[in-house]
Amino acid sequence: MSYENIRLEQEAGIATITFDRPKALNALNRALLGELAQALGKLAEDESVRVLVLTGAGEKAFVAGADIGELATFGPLEAKWFSRMGHEVIGRLQELPIPVIAAVNGYALGGGTEIALACDFIYAADSARFGLPEITLGLIPGFGGTQRLPRLIGPAAAKELIFTGRMIAAEEALRLGIVNRVVPAAELMAEVRKTALEAAAKGRVALRAAKEAVNHGLGVDLATGCRLEVDAFSLVFASPDAREGTRAFLEKRKPVFRGRFKGDPPA
């Protein structure tokens, strides 16, 4: 499948989606969101993919927000449809059963920050900038920013960023806990790939179980979350990966994980 606004590449179990509107600083419009939804649907069905990386084309931007030219034409009904579309696509990204890493290579503003927040974690170039500047346009974040950011950094810090629309540097994003790691821009993709390969070498079934336990546990009380973990822990034993991993440890060798979601091969 060919795309006009994104690029989808796969190598060694790692898929990379590149937002590819560099002349518009990779701004989000309806066409890009539609293509992103299609790509995510394809990846969700492809069991050869173990990790997804998101990044932006060019050196200036990851995603510099929504396409303002398109936003300016919206009435309330179009705005609601656009926001709902964004929520659905970003929700699908968050629910992918594989690790998702945001490689933020430049401006991640508005919808760019919101997409990055839906990834499992973020690595940023030292030149990256984050922010939710919608308030400066007389608007508010519409793709989950008012919900994911407070859950990540606390309501007070999130409100300061949302109410002021202030843009912050990668180092401040690191201090606030938005970003996991900041590296020189020239080294960003190599660093992301190193971590992606490390995660891709792990058992796919266990990765999915761990991701679901964390994500679903965040929305419940501790006792319920611990029960979710007990169920997830026991279910991974249905995959031959559990036997392979423990056996490899006892035999002092590197495990070879082959577990799948849609029916595991014979042990």
Quote the pLDDT of residue 253.
Answer: 92
From residue 16, alpha-carbon distances to 2, 71, 102, 172 in Å are 14, 28, 10, 26
Residues of the chain with pLDDT below 70 are: 261-267
The angle subtended at Cα 159 by Cα 154 and Cα 164, nearest 5°, is 145
Residue 208 and residue 139 share a domain:
no
Q: Are residues 91 and 213 in the same domain?
A: no
Domain shared by 28 and 47, yes or no: yes
Residues 196 and 230 in one domain: no
Give catalytic status of residue 70 as yes or no: no
For residues 63 and 173, membership in a common domain is answered with yes
160 is catalytic: no
pLDDT at 267: 43
244 and 155 in a common domain: no
Number of domains in the chain: 2
pTM over 0.75: yes
Q: Judge if 105 and 236 occupy the same domain.
A: no
Within this chain, do residues 111 and 19 fall inside the same structural domain, yes or no? Answer: yes
**129 in the same domain as 185:** yes
242 and 129 belong to one structural domain: no
CATH assignment of the domain containing 214: 1.10.12.10
pLDDT tens, position by position, 82-135? 999 999 999 999 999 999 999 999 999 999 999 999 999 999 999 999 999 999
In this structure, the answer to whether residues 178 and 224 fall within a common structural domain is no
Catalytic residue, candidates 11, 78, 134, 191:
134
Burial of 17 (0-12, 13-18, 19+ CB in 10 A): buried
Q: Tell me the pLDDT tens digit for each residue of 246-258.
A: 999 999 999 988 8
DSSP letters along 60-124, please? TEEE--B-HHHHTT--HHHHHHHHHHHHHHHHHHHT-SS-EEEEE-SEEETHHHHHHHHSSEEEE
Same domain, 137 and 91: yes
Residue-number span of the structural domain to which 232 is assigned: 204-250
Q: Are 53 and 23 in contact (CB under 8 A)?
A: no
Q: Are 92 and 52 in contact (CB under 8 A)?
A: no
CATH classification at residue 12: 3.90.226.10
Options 114, 160, 191, 212, the catalytic residue:
114
